[in-house]
Amino acid sequence: DAGITQSPRYKITETGRQVTLMCHQTWSHSYMFWYRQDLGHGLRLIYYSAAADITDKGEVPDGYVVSRSKTENFPLTLESATRSQTSVYFCASTGGGYTDTQYFGPGTRLTVL
Amino acid sequence: QKEVEQDPGPLSVPEGAIVSLNCTYSNSAFQYFMWYRQYSRKGPELLMYTYSSGNKEDGRFTAQVDKSSKYISLFIRDSQPSDSATYLCAMSANDMRFGAGTRLTVKP
């Protein structure tokens, strides 16, 4: 599939479990981003990556880990999920710099019980 | 105080109405201003992109940026039920900041 995809689309997990959310894009965009979207807060940046093997923290990175071994993939791992990490997670990518138009995936709705 | 403030609504208007959506911000370094539209259970998609102050028009949509007042607006003319969505403002300097989004419903 062309574009940007996320998996799974829905996930229910328990407190303390490790969860990995996947993001894949087919455009060879250099920049990729992870956001969480919560009511009243809008989109908040968790981590971003400017290229393979280059990642950096965003606004709300605590409790999350990312990696980017290949340009097209940018997985987000919650090492020990907490209820406060219940949210909708969006992956985005852009071919230009940080300020360029970002293309978003469909989102992953995560519930931590 | 948040860097970007956006009234979450919800906003409900009849079909054909003119809609005005607004955001204010505090960081004078913001140079790029965007509006994203997000349908229910979907990812945001870019609607309008402007650089610095001024107006930009695209069909029924007009984006305005007033940097002196730190205020941006999106106007939708002849609103349609298909415009029902959440509209997020976004702005960037060295990084991107999003507003909380305004939920709009256009009633037939």
Amino acid B48: pLDDT: 93
Amino acid B89: pLDDT: 96
pLDDT category of residue B7 using cuts at 50, 70 and 90: confident
Amino acid A101: pLDDT: 85
pLDDT by residue (tens digit) across A85-103? 999 999 999 988 777 889 9
The closest of B5, B88, B95, B16 to B47, measured between CA atoms, is: B88
Choose from A45, A99, A100 for mutation: most chain B CBs within 10 A: A99
pLDDT by residue (tens digit) across B22-61? 999 999 999 999 999 999 999 999 999 998 888 999 999 9
pLDDT by residue (tens digit) across B78-89? 999 999 999 999
- By CB atoms closer than 10 A (0-12, 13-18, 19+), residue A19 is buried
Token duo for residue A58:
């965003």
- What does the alpha-carbon distance between residue A34 and residue B62 come to, in Å, rounded to a whole number? 29
- What does the alpha-carbon distance between residue A71 and residue B103 come to, in Å, rounded to a whole number? 34
B67: Cβ–Cβ under 8 A, 6 or more apart, which residues? Answer: B28, B52, B53
Contact across the interface for A90 and B43, Cβ inside 8 Å: yes
The closest of A56, A32, A34 to A45, measured between CA atoms, is: A34
Contact across the interface for B98 and A40, Cβ inside 8 Å: no
Compute the average pLDDT of residues A17-30. Answer: 96
Contact list in A for residue B4 (CB cut-off 8 A) is 42
Question: Which range in A37-46, A67-76, A90-99 is most confidently predicted, on average pLDDT?
Answer: A67-76
How confident is the prediction for chain A on average, in pLDDT? Answer: 94
